[in-house]
Amino acid sequence: MTTVYLGPWRIDVERRDGVASPLSAARMGRVAAHALEAAGAPPPASLTIVLSHDEELAALNHEHMGEDGPTDVLSFPMLPSGAFPPHPGQKDAPDAGPEVDFSVRHGRRKHLGDVVISVERAIAQAEQGRGGHDGNVRWSAADEMRLLLIHGTLHICGWDHGDPDEREAMRALERDLLAET
């Protein structure tokens, strides 16, 4: 595992055996930190990025989403969406759940969650012109990885794309973050 510290963020990047990423851990850390800041994540905090393959994503997709087959990215948030500031497109104020204490004691950071990416799927999508928001973009595998990382990080921070208004707001923020990173 590689750990990247950027200001108030600790980004842990874990690569499964045999998985090589088109992005360095340092670059992934910068992209994730930028998305955390844009989403208003409460600092100081940590995020884990797991770089995996289709087989693991298929198993996780089945176990957690009830869907068969691999997917490109899954997010596992540790905090309720109400722990993050409201964002454009949200219809209702998110359920804050129990009171969340963001005070940090003795240098400990709150863990925001894990983003798991199938590098295998990201590379294939980019090479086959099935990348981007709409699945019709041919670009580099590194660009597809950046999009998936931003997308997964926004999910950690309470963003969703089930509602059309929120989906458009999320896509707009993703485009902005892609342009900036």
Distance CA 157, CA 36 (A): 7
Buried b (16+ CB within 10 A) or exposed e, 42-55: bebbbbbbbbbbbe
pLDDT given at position 136: 78
| Residue ranges of domains in the chain | 2-180
Give strand pairing partners of 14. Answer: 50
- Which CATH architecture best describes the domain 2-180? 3-Layer(aba) Sandwich (3.40)
Distance CA 59, CA 80 (A): 24
- Residue type, position 167, single letter: R
- In this prediction the pTM is 0.90
Residue 116 DSSP SS3: strand
pLDDT given at position 97: 47
Q: What is the mean pLDDT of each run of 10 residues along the chain (181 residues)?
A: 96 97 97 97 97 96 93 96 88 54 62 97 91 82 97 96 90 95 87
